[in-house]
């Protein structure tokens, strides 16, 4: 039986942030079908630690950002899309400066995940940043952000209580708290 995968692809939309393709796909049973796929260059997300990550209840820097699709403000970790040819680490450093006004002495990759593999190839590379130097944020014209220094324990309560509804932030904070710092 032939290997599953893409047989052909037709670009239906090319945009600034995403592209949309209709792919003809061979499935594991040998049958074929069409799937609409959102193509995304990927992104990096940063959990910025204002205090020692391994100290008692470390303080992190979240942001409150206006998100049109969510019809209001969302609390999240700084994050952003990779530019053409940019490494995930370089993107993380750039986004940390843009959205939080910080540079990091240490940046550690902790996890990479697909956001919604049913219809997009977007992957997010999550990092922990420590040894921060703070300055002024440099958001893009369509970014409206406010810094929110928050104890990690409080951020986890905010996930549980539905105050943090951003999926990439929730999964990364839970991963960092449970597997990186909790290990």
If we measure between CA atoms, which residue out of 69, 50, 55, 76 comes closest to residue 133? 50
Q: Residues 44-65: pLDDT tens digits? A: 999 999 999 999 899 999 999 9
Quote the DSSP letter at residue 82: P
| Positions marked catalytic | 143
Q: Confidence band (pLDDT; 50, 70, 90) for 141?
A: low
Q: What is the pTM of this model?
A: 0.92
Task: Say whether 43 sits in a helix, a strand or coil.
Answer: strand
């Amino acid at each position: 039986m032939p290997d599953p995968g893409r047989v052909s692809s037709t670009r239906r939309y090319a945009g600034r942030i995403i592209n949309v393709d209709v792919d003809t796909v061979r499935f594991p049973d040998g049958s074929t079908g069409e799937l609409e796929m959102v193509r995304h260059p990927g992104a990096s997300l940063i959990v910025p630690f204002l205090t020692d990550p391994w100290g008692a209840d470390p303080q992190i820097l979240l942001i409150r950002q206006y998100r049109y699709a969510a019809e209001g403000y969302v609390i999240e970790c700084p994050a952003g899309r990779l530019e053409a040819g940019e490494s995930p680490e370089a993107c993380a450093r750039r986004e940390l400066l843009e959205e939080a006004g910080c540079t990091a002495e240490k940046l550690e990759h902790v996890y990479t995940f697909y956001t919604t593999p049913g219809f997009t190839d977007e992957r997010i590379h999550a990092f922990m940043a420590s040894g921060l130097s703070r300055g002024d944020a440099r958001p893009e014209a369509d970014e409206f952000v406010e810094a929110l220094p928050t104890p990690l324990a409080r951020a986890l309560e905010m996930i549980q209580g539905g105050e943090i509804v951003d999926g990439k932030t929730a999964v990364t904070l839970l991963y960092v708290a449970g597997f990186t710092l909790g290990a």
